Amino acid sequence: MAMAVSAPSLPRKQQRDGFVQIRVAGTPYEMGLQHGELLREEIHDLLGAIGHHVLYGMPGFVGIGARRAIWTIVSLMHGHIPARHRAEIAGIARAADKPYRDIVLINCFDDVLANLRMLGDMLGRLGCSAFAVTAERKPGELVCGRNLDYFVQSAKGDDVWAATNYMKEHVAVIEFAPREHASFIAVGWPGFIGGATGMSERGMVTSALTVSTYRNRPMATPSNFLYRRIMEEASTLDEAVGILRRSQRTQGNNLLIGSGAEGTAIVTEYTPSRLSVRRAVDGWIATTNHFNHPHMDSHYTPIPYQSSTERYARLGELCSCTVDPDDVEDFGAFLINLDRRTPDLNEYCAVWNPCTIYSTLFAPTRGRLWVRVSDRSARTYQEVILGTNDRCSDSHPAA
């Protein structure tokens, strides 16, 4: 595997192969100001896309009703966002010169759709695959990987892939260095401060996957802020689960949580009222978009999508193979695997599929992750090193 020479020093904002990368540091409000200043144009563009494809895409009274419902849900969730994160959002809004509630919407978007089931079903959203191979397996350290898959149909009536392609083309990787909490890297979009895909300096990894559930709750903490708390506060798997258990939750998710120090990973399967934990077996664990824990599956999951069960089975085949890759980076091939288990299955049953926005591979004990954006087939994994924003390379895991 070729390794490029690391750049000696990079600005706080850099355009990488497929994504923009920035670093922010300081108090919550200071980080927000830096974020809003560095990504002002990108935030304006993202909000314009949300307005076009979602908020103002539906005409007449239907559109008016949808907007009122969206902003009502946002206002109900807002009071449950931790104060320090509200301050960070305020900093972004001021520096980017956009309304505060617009930045809140960016960070609550998936939770809003989950609580507006008709709108969420219409726009789509289900996807994602994640796995972890524990330290008992070769190469002897925890390796986690995730594909974030998302499909958003444009309410404006544009090309069916227009909104999803926009998400692929505007990925942002942000290193957060809070003054009073652990530093971490998150993969998301401009204006987004959550931890749906993240890795902390304490070696904690989060990968969130949507699960379609009923009886969701708008008067609770949006999921991405729970994951942000895990990034900033947790040092062990038990601490991470404790944060989820003690919190009011808006919707159902599967959350793969890895701990480099402990050398293993778990999957928390939860709804607003119930939470169960699955642990790695035979050195690996995987999850997609349905519940597998018997306590969860029997209570909450509707008939799972075939694509979810097939992706889960395919990850199981990859993770349980008898020959492990020689190095961490080689696990990147799992995430871009196009194989389907039987010829009659459609392309959405592959781990990498048309809905994949980006792939991320984590090596938490090394403080490194690799990101590959899916807007073009020629994209390669780009290495991101936690700790400073002046070290990175173009290291490419195996394709």
For 142-155, how does the pLDDT look when each residue is reduced to its tens digit (9 = 90+)?
999 999 998 887 77
Greater confidence (131 vs 11) lies with 131
Tokens matching residue 54: 């979602």
Position 124 scores a pLDDT of: 54
Q: What is the pLDDT of residues 277-316, one digit of tens each?
A: 999 999 999 999 999 999 887 766 556 678 999 999 999 9
Greater confidence (4 vs 345) lies with 345
Q: Can you list the domains of the chain with their CATH numbers? A: 13-393 (3.60.60.10)
CA distance 81 to 150: 24
The stretches of 234-358 forming alpha helices (DSSP H) are 237-246, 294-297, 306-319, 332-335
SS3 of residue 211 by DSSP: coil
Quote helix, strand, coil % in the chain, to nearest 5: 35, 25, 40
Type of residue at 184: F
List of E strands, 27-63: none
List of E strands, the chain: 13-15, 19-26, 129-133, 143-149, 171-178, 184-188, 197-200, 204-210, 253-259, 264-270, 275-279, 284-287, 356-363, 368-373, 382-385, 392-393
| pLDDT interval class at 392 (50, 70, 90) | very low
Is residue 143 within 8 Å of residue 260, measured between CB atoms?
no
Over residues 231-258, the mean pLDDT reads 97
Type of residue at 243: I
Least confident residue range of 292-296, 321-325, 343-347: 321-325
Question: Within its chain, how far is the Cα of 6 from the centroid?
Answer: 26
Q: Which positions ≥6 away from 19 have C-beta within 8 Å?
A: 171, 172, 173, 187, 358, 371, 373, 382
Position 208 scores a pLDDT of: 97
Tally Cβ neighbours within 10 Å of residue 51: 14
Does position 246 have pLDDT exceeding 90, yes or no? yes
Sheet of 19-26: strand order equals 13-15, 19-26, 171-178, 184-188, 197-200, 204-210, 253-259, 264-270, 275-279
The verdict on pTM exceeding 0.95 is no
CA distance 65 to 62: 5
Please give the DSSP secondary-structure letter assigned to residue 389: S
Type of residue at 258: G
| pLDDT interval class at 134 (50, 70, 90) | very high
Position 118 scores a pLDDT of: 56
